[in-house]
Structure formats: structure tokens, C-alpha cells
Chain A
Amino acid sequence: MVIALLFRDLKLSVRAGGGALIGVLFFTTVVAVIPFGVGPDLNLLSRIGPAIVWIGALLSALLGLDRMFQTDREDGSLDLLLMQEHPLALTVLVKCLAHWLGNGLPLVIASPLLGLFMNMDEVAIGATMLTLLVGTPALTFIGAVGAAVAVALPRGGLLVSILVLPLAIPVLIFGVSASYAAVQDPAPFMPPFLILVAITMFFAVLGPLGAALALRNAGD
């Protein structure tokens, strides 16, 4: 049963050495230093707030990506995952879901607190949280391809981030523009939000397929 993999990866992400807490701490650090750097201009902070929260979430999401398949490769589990009759793309999809639940969802949950740091109002906080909830899975799916390509490299961390970043930029653009549209009156919220949903659904299909292909060909 593939679902057993979901529970195992979730357990691993909260145990010692798991990435769940690291991502949230990094996110908090990035956003918390902004007010000190920008200064106590509350209007400015609330204006740049959604963008800063989104950039912080993007960077934190990139941080844990390279471990997605590498830990399994190091201890030999990846070989056994590849041998089973379950379609490999399904196995990768489950690993992506587990990775998002362990690393992406905590960022979404932490975002309202960080919104307060940035003097954002309720609507802006709500919109940012909603767009993060919809957008961060796309980052995980895109990242899975990068992580699979770099799985055989001993220090692939930075490489994964660089490979993934260009594809992650559209997610950032539409996430931030939807967040702004919710607070600035003339701009409509739905078009950028729906494009964000579409990006996530598109990569939910393409990401696992691409990652499965890369893993099959990474054989050493």
C-alpha cells in the first residue's frame, strides 16, 4: 500500500533530523528581520507585507527540497521503492504530498503570525494565507523534479534551488498579485488566483511524472 509511505515520511519529518521545524524557523527569521531593516514605517510595511511573506515562504520551501529523495537514496530505500509494482509516479506523488504536509503546510500555518509582523490587515493576511495554501504545493511538485535530477549528487542542495527557481517564479508572481488584488480595490482577485490554482494542478501532474522519469534514469 502506497499510503504507508505517506505516514512514514510524515513521521520522519517531525522526528529528529526532519525538516518541518527548520523550514518554519527559517521563514520566521527571514520575515522577522525585514521590519528591522526597513524601519518602523507601518504603511510601507503593510504595503510590502504580502510580497515579503511570499518570498520568505518560497525560500523556506526551497530549503528542504533536496532531501526529498536523498535520504531514501543514502540508506538504500529508494532502490526498493523503485522495484515495486506501484507506478513510480504514484509513489513520487505520495512522497510530494508527505513533503508538503511536513514542510509546506507549517509555512501556511505560520504565515498569519508573520503577517502581523508586517502590519498587514485581516483581509491581506487571509488572502496571503489562502494563496500560500494553494501555491506552495506547486513549489513542492516543481521541486520534486529538481530533487530527483540531483539525487545522485552529494551536495545537490544549492543546485536543486537554482534548477527549480525559474519554474517557481510564476507561482510567486501570481501568488503575490492575487494577495494584492484582495486588498487593492480595482484589481480583481479571481483571475490571478485561478491561474495559481491552474499552475498547481498542472505541476501536480507533470512534477511526479518528470521526477519518476529522472529517478528511473538515475540508476548507478
Chain B
Amino acid sequence: MMKHNESPQMRLTVEALSARRGEDLIFKDISFSLGTGESLILTGRNGSGKSTLLRAVAGLLRPESGRVTWESDEAETGTRASEACHYLGHRNAMKAELSVRENLEFWQDFFGDFSGGRGMTIADAAEAVGLGGIAHLPFGYLSAGQQRRMAFAKLLVAWRPVWILDEPTAALDVSAESVFTALITDHLAQGGIVLAATHQPLGLENAQELKMTGFAGVMESMW
């Protein structure tokens, strides 16, 4: 695993972000800024706009207003914020027809490492999520929880400073949750940034929390 002795300074800044789904404004004027080793947990009930905010930060949804910027000592200027991010959405982005190893090898090659770090080998990543030794199986053979763990292993095989996690612990047992918490803590210790939406407490110390109130909250404040 990579160790940063002199962590480069990085900052993910979100300024006055608003997003719309259809006609409805889901949230507006959300601003935050995360530096090296910091994390932000989004909480809020279903439909409060957590996933929408994460997709907007990842550059997958064009925001109504506001912007997401990425600054770093190392990366060249003009880097889009999404290039510095790993995004773990509801869907696992793995092919059921290919083996776990083929899936992970593909993403490792395709992602490539972002400047400032190196990913693990496939075997180490599978070991890290507690599933060493089954990398030869087709991804479709695994149980829902195992699939989720392997989707998480995808974040480990290539280095990205920012992890955007949407309900990372869905379909997972308690032991897996603690494994994920340990991996996230490790990532933060290496100078990474984590932005996660979750219902379960991830047990992270020093995490900032942003409570999403969603459409209703926005409306109340507007009336």
C-alpha cells in the first residue's frame, strides 16, 4: 500500500450547487470544501437528494447552477473533478459474464492511476475486501454481498484521491461493514478524500456530516 509521508495538498470544492430532476429542484446552494484526509457523510431520508448530489459531484449530472472544482499541487491545472474520483453507485459496474479477475483487471487498466498514488494488485485488493481466492469465479456466481465487496475492490486497484460512495454498505453483513470502514479509514490516512451517502453509521471519526432535507426542505425555506 502507498504511504504518503509528505501528503500533497488537495482540495475538492463544491460551490453553490443546485440540481434539478425534471421540474423539481432537489437541492440548492450546497457548498462544502474537503481537503486532504477529510470526509463528509451525507445523511437524510430516502429521496432527500443524496444520490443526486453525489452524481452531480461526480460530473454525471449537469447541475442547475454552481460548480465542482478540484485543486492539487500535483495534478495539472484544468483537471476535471470527476477524473480524480472513484464513484461507487448503486450498481456495481461489473460484468456478470466475466470472472472477477477479468473485471478487476479491466478496470485497473482502464482507470489507470491518478497522479500521487498507486493501486493495489488484483490479489491484494480481493484479499483486502475479505474475498481472496475466489477471483477466478464469474462475477455473476457471487452472492449480492460478495458482489458488493468486489465492486468495492474496484476502488482499490487504481488510485483516485476522492472516493464518492453511494450507500456502500447496502446488502452487506456486519463484518463487511467493519472491513469497509477500515478501508475507508486507510484511504483517509493516505491523504484521500471520502464523500459518502449512507444510512448506517460508517464509524468514521472526525467525519463532517451534511443532513439533506430534500425537496420539502428547500420549499419550506423558499416560502
A interface, CB within 8 angstroms of B: 1-5, 7-8, 11-12, 15-18, 74-77, 79-85, 217, 219-220
Contact = CB atoms under 8 A, between A and B. Distances in A.
Contacts, number: 74
9 contacts: A1-B109, A2-B110, A5-B110, A8-B106, A76-B90, A79-B89, A81-B110, A83-B85, A84-B83
Contacts of B200: none
Nearest to A91: B110
Q: Which secondary structure dominates chain A's binding surface?
A: helix
B82 to A, nearest CB: 4
Contacts of B60: 79, 82-83, 219
A11 B94 CA distance: 14
A16 B98 contact: no
B204 to A, nearest CB: 24
B87 interface: yes
A77 B93 contact: yes
Contacts of B92: 75-76
Interface of B: 55, 58-62, 79-80, 82-83, 85, 87, 89-98, 102, 105-107, 109-112
A184 B38 CA distance: 74
A75 B147 CA distance: 12
Nearest to A77: B93
B110 A76 contact: no
A75 B58 CA distance: 17
Contacts of A220: 61
A5 B108 CA distance: 11
B106 A4 contact: yes
A81 B55 CA distance: 14
Q: Which of B55, B79, B90, B93 has the most chain A CB atoms closer than 10 A to its own CB?
A: B93
A75 B106 contact: no
A11 B98 contact: yes
A83 B91 contact: no
Contacts of A217: 62
Contact of B93 (A5, A15, A80, A84): A80
Contact of B87 (A15, A83, A85): A83
Nearest to A76: B91
Contacts of A75: 91-96
Nearest to A2: B110
A219 B112 CA distance: 24
A165 to B, nearest CB: 30
A199 B92 CA distance: 38
Given A75-B91, A83-B85, A11 B102 contact: yes
B47 to A, nearest CB: 15
B97 A84 contact: no
Nearest to A16: B97
A1 B112 contact: yes
A214 to B, nearest CB: 14
Q: Which of B60, B79, B105 has the most chain A CB atoms closer than 10 A to its own CB?
A: B60
A84 B79 CA distance: 11
Contacts of B80: 85
Given A75-B93, A75-B95, A219-B61, 12 more contacts: A2-B110, A4-B109, A11-B97, A15-B97, A75-B91, A76-B93, A77-B94, A83-B58, A83-B59, A83-B82, A83-B85, A219-B55
Which 4 pairs between the two chains have the least Cβ-Cβ distance?
A76-B91, A4-B109, A76-B93, A83-B82
A62 B97 CA distance: 23
A83 B87 CA distance: 9
B17 to A, nearest CB: 15
Given A76-B91, A83-B85, A8 B102 contact: yes
